Amino acid sequence: PRGPGDIAKGQTFEQPAPAEPQEDPEEVKNKGNELYKKGDYGGAVTQYTKSITIKPSVVGYANRAMANLKLGKFAEAEEDSTLALELDPAYVKAITRRGTARRHLEKHLESVMDFETALRYEPTSQLHYKEKLASRTLFEAKSKLLMTAPRTLLPLADNRPVKSPEAEAEAAAAPEPEPLDSEP
């Protein structure tokens, strides 16, 4: 530590400013909970972020994930849920919130896996089962859509797609449409 004898002529000695008392992370999180209950999800996110900055916690991340879900910020909700699960892999609320976020991000298979994990911890939960089923249905629908999508390789310079050999064969085998009559 420096003392008055360490000061060069013409300089002044300044005491460091006392550290501001740090807020209790639990109290800050509770402020976030109150804002969440009032529907102020943005304000809740701010308080949860403040709480996490003071002291990271599973509940802080999971609560911020829920507020982000309400705000439609699904990538942030997925990230917060994952951070909560890094602290406690068995925290079911974080698992289900991540599953919900992933479904909205069209990561349907990962969403199904999250709800299956939640069901391992809470096997009688009808909510987890319904959420898993909803994600699975979306995954299967997307898979069918991908299987029936036209197959093309690369676009030509004029942006017309080059069809795969299978698509060319299908087009060649299709019957020619009949010409329209010129009179009704």
Each residue of 93-147: pLDDT tens digit?
A: 999 999 999 999 999 899 989 999 999 999 999 998 999 988 888 888 877 766 6
**Residue 173 structure tokens:** 């085998």
Q: Of 29-33, 70-74, 160-164, which gets the smallest average pLDDT?
A: 160-164
Q: Which helix (H) or strand (E) holds 130?
A: helix 126-148
CA distance 45 to 61: 10
Please name each of the domains of the chain with its CATH number. 23-143 (1.25.40.10)
DSSP state of 122: S
On the CB side of 26, CA atoms within 13 Å amount to 0
What residues are paired with 110 via a beta bridge?
none
Across 2-10, average pLDDT:
52
Residue with tokens 């009032």: 38
Is the pLDDT at 11 greater than 60? The verdict is: no
168 vs 78: which has the higher pLDDT: 78
The predicted pLDDT at position 18 comes to 44
The predicted pLDDT at position 38 comes to 97
Is the pLDDT at 2 greater than 50? The verdict is: no
The predicted pLDDT at position 19 comes to 42
Is the pLDDT at 3 greater than 70? The verdict is: no
Is the pLDDT at 164 greater than 60? The verdict is: no
The predicted pLDDT at position 139 comes to 86
Specify whether the CB–CB gap between 98 and 85 falls below 8 A.
yes
Each residue of 16-53: pLDDT tens digit?
A: 444 455 789 899 999 999 999 999 999 999 999 999 99
- pTM of the predicted protein model: 0.67
On the CB side of 166, CA atoms within 13 Å amount to 6
Specify whether the CB–CB gap between 69 and 87 falls below 8 A.
no
DSSP state of 4: G
Specify whether the CB–CB gap between 57 and 87 falls below 8 A.
yes
| Coil vs helix vs strand at 94 | helix
